[in-house]
């Protein structure tokens, strides 16, 4: 059964049906909500089936399909390994929650809104499942269109500015990547990602190709200094749009690094770790400090996303097993936790219609259930043991320590700063006195909101306590990437702090030690 094709096409078909629903505006809105939820639930079931059937012992692409549909340009070639599987799981898991989260808050043009989200889902699954490099690009870029419309139509006050910025920033990054892709395909004579990942490109070419891909992925990631579209897009997007942005779209950059940059340009990756580490270190410290002074809750979480994504890039370019595994877990964990934090903001935004931190306060008294959930996700974001954030940060730092102790040191300060801005946010929102009568009068979580947040709590705990379930399918694929990186000449970065010499042999019995 072509399960991946079905998962990609089903939301598209559903979206078309939504747009042509009969009835007056209210009826259409009601039907659209139910139909969209049903579609995303079917996708979730299909995703779970995928996970159940997935063979975690191999790095090969599974559920492979290939149809030479599009002439000489590209083939409809799909297949997933463990990395793609986990990111698809994340997408299908968050999607029904997004639909539920917009159940009441979106009132205008509901069928179009739901259709845009279904298109997003289809394009995201397609991005992760594509095995043809141009098919990947098609899905990767196609996601711009629905997101542009979601931000521009249903966003906040500065939505138009934000939607333009989002679109043009990401497009500019991507066209450079396309030039590189065209060159690579001309060199290797194949559009298959698996073949390209085994092709040894000339070292000088790798350098430029790496930079071209870097332009695209760094914008998507987003890395400092090209992160500025993110806070704007987040703040102006509707709640569910923010969840999808933070939960899945930001993962496209990391996925791109691990799928393209690392295995295809291993030499350039090893030579340019100073660039990535440098940007990551700046990002962690700078965006954490910026997050500290935000008045807008969504902006604060958006900046914290940039800091967390810097952990991902740091882990990826540690170029060893622990770092890569940590980075992948970080992406999954961040998808859950920051998605949940945006949902939490959405809950109180729906009640008070402001994101000003100063307008809240004392929610621990008036909304105890809400305060509990918010506390949980605050802790998960900070990286408290037993939550997913801890496992991810720990692995990233462990892997990074073997490559650069200095980078590890700076990133670790990010954890402290992260605790500072998150806990301060929590203190201002949940403790103290309510800012006004309207704040005090806000009702606690409704059943629908509990139903949205409870599954994320469960998943976050699961990933924190037993990460092996998530790690096991990814390990063979990650091992393959690490094998490509083995023996490459690393750039000389300050790896040792004389006070505490790194002892990689003890920590990593594997190949990472030789990389020095």
Note the residues at the interface with another protein (CB under 8 A): 68-73, 134, 137-139, 141-142, 144-145, 148-149, 152-153, 159-160, 163-164, 167-168, 171-172, 175-176, 178-179, 182-183, 185-186
What's 37-67 look like in SS3? HHHHHHHHHHHHHHHHHCCCCCCCCEEEEEE
Residue with smaller CB distance to another protein, 71 or 509 = 71
- Tell me, what DSSP letter sits at residue 228? T
Cα(257)–Cα(199) distance, integer angstroms: 16
Q: How far is the CB of 47 from another protein (least distance, A)?
A: 22
- What is the CA angle 283-286-287, rounded to 5? 75
Q: How far is the CB of 235 from another protein (least distance, A)?
A: 17
Q: How far is the CB of 74 from another protein (least distance, A)?
A: 8
User: CB 112 → another protein: shortest distance, Å?
Assistant: 8
Nearer to another protein, 129 or 273 (CB): 129
CB of 155 to another protein, least distance (A): 9
Residue 57 vs 199, nearer CB to another protein? 199
In terms of CB distance, is 68 or 494 closer to another protein?
68
Question: What's the closest the beta carbon of residue 474 comes to another protein, in angstroms?
Answer: 28
Closest approach, Cβ 152 to another protein, in A, equals 5
Minimum CB separation of residue 216 from another protein in Å reads 12
Residue 273 CA from chain centroid, whole number: 21
Q: 265 is written with which tokens? A: 């340009």
Q: Which is nearer to another protein, 168 or 472 (CB)?
A: 168
Q: How far is the CB of 447 from another protein (least distance, A)?
A: 34
Contacts of 217 (CB under 8 A, 6+ apart): 173, 177, 252, 253, 254, 256, 257, 260, 261
Q: Take residue 87 and report the two structure tokens written for it.
A: 């990111």
Please identify, using beta-carbon distances, which residue of 114 and 367 lies nearer to another protein: 114
- Minimum separation from the CB atom of position 12 to another protein (A): 9
Report, in Å, the least distance between residue 175 CB and another protein.
4
> CB neighbours of 492 closer than 8 A, spacing ≥ 6?
none
| CA atoms within 13 Å, Cβ hemisphere of 180 | 25
DSSP state letter for 390 = H
**Nearest-10 Cα torsion for 297, 303, 304, 306:** 150
Contact between residue 104 and residue 45 where contact means Cβ atoms under 8 Å apart: no
Q: How many Å apart are CA 138 and CA 386, to the nearest integer?
A: 39
Cβ closer to another protein: 189 or 368? 189
Please tell me what DSSP assigns to residue 79: E
CA distances in angstroms from 478 to 59, 199, 201, 401, listed in the order given: 8, 18, 21, 19
Distance separating alpha carbons of residues 281 and 286, to the nearest angstrom: 8
Give me the residues paired with residue 62 across strands. 80
Q: Which is nearer to another protein, 45 or 168 (CB)?
A: 168
Cα distance between residue 245 and residue 228, in whole Å: 14
Contacts 24+ apart (CB under 8 A), 109-112: 109/153, 109/154, 110/28, 110/29, 110/32, 110/33, 111/18, 111/19, 111/21, 111/28, 111/29, 111/31, 111/32, 112/18, 112/19, 112/149, 112/153
Smallest separation (angstroms) from another protein to the CB of 160: 6
Tell me whether residue 24 or residue 437 sits nearer to another protein (CB atom).
24
Using the 8-state DSSP alphabet, how is residue 257 labeled? I
Query: Please, which residue, 185 or 502, has the CB nearer to another protein?
Result: 185
User: Which CB sits closer to another protein, 17 or 461?
Assistant: 17
CB nearer another protein, residue 178 or residue 352: 178
Given a contact cutoff of 8 angstroms between Cβ atoms, the answer to whether 230 and 302 are in contact is yes
Task: Give Cα 507 to chain centroid, integer Å.
Answer: 28
């Amino acid at each position: 059964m072509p399960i991946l094709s079905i998962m990609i096409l089903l939301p598209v078909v559903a979206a078309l049906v939504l747009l042509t629903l009969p009835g007056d505006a209210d009826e259409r809105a009601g039907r659209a909500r139910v139909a969209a939820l049903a579609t995303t639930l079917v996708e979730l079931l299909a995703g779970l089936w995928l996970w159940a059937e997935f063979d975690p012992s191999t790095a090969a692409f599974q559920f492979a399909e290939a149809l030479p549909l599009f002439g000489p340009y590209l083939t409809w070639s799909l297949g997933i390994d463990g990395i793609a599987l986990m990111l698809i799981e994340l997408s299908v898991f968050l999607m029904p929650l997004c639909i539920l989260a917009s159940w009441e808050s979106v009132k205008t043009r509901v069928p179009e809104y739901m259709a845009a989200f279904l298109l997003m889902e289809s394009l995201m699954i397609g991005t992760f499942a594509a095995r043809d490099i141009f098919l990947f690009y098609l899905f990767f870029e196609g996601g711009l269109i629905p997101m542009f419309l979601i931000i521009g139509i249903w966003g906040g006050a500065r939505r138009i500015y934000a939607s333009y910025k989002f679109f043009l920033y990401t497009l500019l990054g991507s066209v450079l990547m396309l030039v590189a892709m065209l060159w690579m395909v001309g060199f290797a004579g194949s559009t298959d990602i698996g073949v390209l990942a085994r092709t040894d490109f000339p070292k000088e070419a790798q350098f430029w190709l790496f930079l071209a891909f870097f332009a695209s992925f760094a914008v998507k990631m987003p890395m400092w200094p090209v992160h500025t579209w993110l806070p704007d897009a987040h703040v102006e997007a509707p709640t569910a749009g923010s969840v999808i942005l933070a939960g899945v779209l930001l993962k496209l950059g990391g996925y791109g690094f691990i799928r393209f940059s690392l295995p295809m340009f291993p030499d350039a990756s090893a030579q340019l770790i100073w660039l990535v580490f440098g940007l990551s270190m700046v990002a962690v410290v700078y965006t954490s400090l910026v997050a500290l002074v935000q008045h807008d809750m969504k902006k604060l979480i958006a900046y914290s996303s940039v800091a967390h994504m810097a952990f991902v890039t740091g882990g990826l370019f540690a170029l060893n097993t622990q770092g890569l595994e940590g980075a992948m877990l970080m992406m999954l964990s961040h998808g859950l936790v920051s998605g949940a934090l945006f949902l939490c903001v959405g809950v109180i935004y729906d009640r008070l219609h402001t994101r000003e931190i100063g307008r809240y306060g004392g929610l621990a008294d008036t909304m105890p259930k809400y305060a509990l959930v918010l506390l949980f996700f605050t802790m998960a974001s900070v990286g408290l043991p037993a939550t997913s954030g801890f496992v991810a940060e720990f692995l990233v730092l462990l892997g990074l320590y073997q490559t650069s102790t200095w980078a590890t040191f700076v990133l670790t300060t990010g954890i402290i700063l992260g605790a500072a801005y998150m806990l301060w946010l929590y203190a201002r929102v949940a403790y103290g006195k309510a800012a006004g009568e309207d704040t005090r009068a806000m009702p606690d979580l409704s059943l629908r909101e509990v139903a949205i947040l409870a599954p994320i709590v469960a998943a976050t705990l699961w990933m924190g306590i037993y990460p092996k379930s998530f790690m096991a399918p990814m390990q063979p694929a990650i091992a393959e990437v690490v094998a490509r990186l083995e023996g490459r000449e690393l750039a000389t970065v300050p790896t040792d702090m004389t006070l505490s010499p790194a002892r990689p042999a003890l920590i990593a019995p594997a190949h990472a030690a030789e990389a020095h």
